Every structure is written in C-alpha cells, then in structure tokens.
Structure 1
Amino acid sequence: MRTNSLHRRAMRVESDTTVCSPLLADGLELTGTPSQAEERPAPPEFDLRTVLRQLNSKSLISGFNQGYFRVNPTLKSAAARIPRTLCDGSTRERNNMGLRKALAHLVMRVSRWTFTPGHPLPERCVVLGAPHTSNWDGFYMVVAMWALQRPFYFLVKKSLTDVPVIGRFVQAIGGIPVDRENAGHLVERVIALAQSSETFVLVIAPKGTRSIRPYWKSGFYRIAQGANLPVVPGFIDGGQRRYGWGAPIELSGNQSKDMDAIRAFYAGIIGIHPEKTCVPRLRSEEAGS
C-alpha cells in the first residue's frame, strides 16, 4: 500500500514538470515542456462578412450627403487585404455573371418597372442612359445588363471608387473612375480600351448630371466615333415605368444629323423626375450652325 502511494506521488510530480500527453500536429509528435510545445497563432483569415459588419453606415451616409466619405479605420485596413480574385472581375467571372443574372431576374419579378428592349444589343456599342434624372436610372441599366449576362463598362466619380470595399466592388462590375478635376485624355483612354476588346459595351449618361441642363456632354459621340461604335439609345421612361433600348444608330459624322436621330428617339420619353428632363443637344451643334 505504501509503495503504491509513493508511486502515485512520483507521477504527479513528473506531470507538473513535463508534458505527458504528446501533441500531434501535421503528423509530427511534439513533446517536452509547455514552452517548447507552444503553438504560434495562425494569421487571421480574410472574412468579407466581418469586413462588411465593420462598415460605419452612419459615416458612409453622412459622406454621401456631404459629398465625401468617412470610413471606419478598421474597415480601411481590412480592405487592403482583399484578395484580387474577389475584385478583378476575371477569376470568377462566370460564376459572378450567373449570380448577377439571378439577382436581376429577382428584381424584375418584384419591380413595377418593365424591361422592354426594342432591339438586340450589339457586341460592341455605346449605350446612352437618358433621360438621366434619378439615381434609379443607373440601377435599372445595371439590372438590364445583368439579366442578359452582358459585361459592360460605365463611368463613375472617382470619389466613389476611392471608398474601401465599395470602390473595389464598383470597379469589379465595370466602373471606370473619372476624376472630374483632371479628366484629360479620358476619351482617348476609353477609345483605346474599346479598340483592344472584342466585345465592348459602355453605358454612359451623356447629360452628366441628374439636374436639368441645356446641353449634353459630347464625350459619348467622340468615343463612339473614335472607336467606330454604334450608339444605342437606352431609356428610362418614367411615364410608362419601362426601361431598355432602341435600335443602334450608326454615326454618319454629321453631328447635327446624328443628333436629330437621337432627338427623334427620345421625343415623348420623360424621366423619373419629369421636371429634370431636357432635350438632347450638344453645344457644338450651335457652334457649327
């Protein structure tokens, strides 16, 4: 009895000084003191859901209202670790397009607006978004493109693409950042992009703002002419709650004649906010008359 008691005490002393149960990790047996067997913590994995939860929504809304963005610093540091495969729109493009199509069809089912394209969309073209009077205009154009699984580009303010996570998402779905204060050579850059691509669709709001203004910007015309692309008159018709596009218009080089064809198409179409609808017209038309 006394011998068994002494043996149990000896085992307790031994267990206090060494690791009796070996650690098995990756097929290797680790033994020794606790300090020798200590494992290094694994680096944290990127979790997009965690990053999105860190978004300070009040600051983001305040930024939209005031014309700038204030983002949670934790989100900003996490955004720098986003894998390129989630943002470049290429590695998972096929799966992404399938998901976008499903989302677009869901929106179409529950929306009171109707998608009514009047003509098949060419493989290469410039799609006009008009009358541009609301933020919903861009939303419905995205829905239309996603429903047809058509990759496309669109111009967006650089201040939006600079926002962590959101900015990368916008560029992943086709956003081309535009710095309005330094917009030189933008037309040339877009033309070069169009010429280097077998398929190219650019969606652009030629009015350039939701507010009423007397003239459209001529960038869409110069891009289409420089890259030899047809112009497709896309529409958001607030009067009949429908959106889509008409037949492509091949530019002739006669600006007034081409704009007459565009004006004829948009005659009678009003925007979501009718008071902001204006007649399509370029300033250069008056200069040439």
Structure 2
Amino acid sequence: MRLTAQNLGWSPRRGRAVVSDVNLEVMPGETLGLIGPNGSGKSTLLRLLAGLLRGAVGRVALDGTDLRQMPRRQIAQVMAVVEQHTDTTEALRARDVVELGRTPFLSALSPFSTRDAAIVSDALETVGMIHLADAQWSTLSGGERQRIQIARALAQQPRILLLDEPTNHLDIHHQLALLRLVDDLPVTVVIALHDLNQAMGCDRLAVMEGGRMVALGPPAEVLTPDRLHSIFRIDSHRLTDPTDAATIFRFLPLEKTA
C-alpha cells in the first residue's frame, strides 16, 4: 500500500507552522526513518500522515485515496500508530490494551472471537510480554508500557505502521530487539528515531528541520558530516565496523572540537 503526502502542513490556531510543505512518497514495504532535532516536527508529521490532526493543509493518501474521504475505521484496518506518550486512567490489564487493536474489525455482527484472542496472544508473544498479559497497566514500567503499545499496533495487523520514537524507555537489549522486529515485519514502516546510528538501518531517511523536510534519501547519502554539523550542531566521524562493514558514527559536541 502506497502512502503519499502532498504539500502537507499544520499549525496551531494563531501560531507558527509546525510542519510546512512536506511532499513524500513512502514505498510499499520500505522502512522510512524520520530524524531531526527536538522540535523539528517529526511527531507532528507522523500524526499528519495518520490523519490525526484537524486543520491540516495539503493531502495524505493511501493508494491514491485521500484520507479525508475514508472512515477512521477503514484507515485503522490498514494503518497502526504508536505514539510517543500514551497513558490511561482506566483499570486495564496489559491484555485489555492489546485487545483494543482489534476494535476496527469488530461489530455487532463480528464480536471478539477466539481468532481475535489468538491474534492478541501472538502480539504479546512477539514483543515478549505474554508473561505480563494479566498485569495491571498502572503497575507496568515505561518500557513495558511501550512494548504493550507496540503489541496493540501489531494486533491491528496493519499494512502500514507509524512509530514515534518507539525505543524511548527501552533498555539497549529491547531497543535492538524491537528494531529487529520492525525490520522483519512484512509492512511499510515510518519510524521517528532519536538515535542516528539506529537510523542507519532504515531504507531511507527523511530529515526534518524547522518543520520542513530538508533531505530525503539513503542513510549514507543523507547523514553527511556537513548536514550533521548544520542541523544537529555536532561534529562526527564516520567509522566502519570491522565485523560486518556497517557504517557507524562517533559524535562530538562542537565546543570540544575547536
């Protein structure tokens, strides 16, 4: 399924634009990484691509159909979103949260079934949380909640998965496991990442600065020392890992390289 954006933008009432003039085509099956400094518009762009912000300008389309012409239920059957901050005051178990991922497929004629329960259990198993399926949401750590939210998205069985800095709150083991999981999924992925070395594993990167997309392409072409210097205000050394020839960066603050 093809996800496209044309002249996409959004600004709060009486405020400056948070995202402006973004044109983007996400290739079916690719993993597109969104990178940029804090406040560059990554999270807002993800919400715009999901059709979650009112007052947006421009157009987002799935296989050529404008999201505004599609019911939310239909969109949720093909697109899942994992936002950076999600919480609830409801007395829910971890399994209850993941079961919400099946909501777009349920109706009076199609109630929650044993098949839905199996999909939920598979999602919990995939993120390594089946042992906490009956735990109360309020007792879970930040990292455990993040993994449950990812399981909820997986329970939607989406064709497009939008993730806003999903490695936040996770220890390094679970960060790497999550990125491996995402890489193995047979879906189109748009993922906002804070760690630039982790971003090197994406098929393409879109660089955001001041609400605009200033670069788009393969990681090795996009993450140049000059761009890292100007946008992230860091100096960098590109290194090659001798074990697998992967490119990694060492970053240095500007004031220490004068």
* TM-score in terms of structure 2 length: 0.40
More relative contact order, 1 or 2 (CA 8 Å, 6+ apart): 2
Larger strand share, 1 or 2: 2
Larger helix share, 1 or 2: 1
Larger Rg: 1
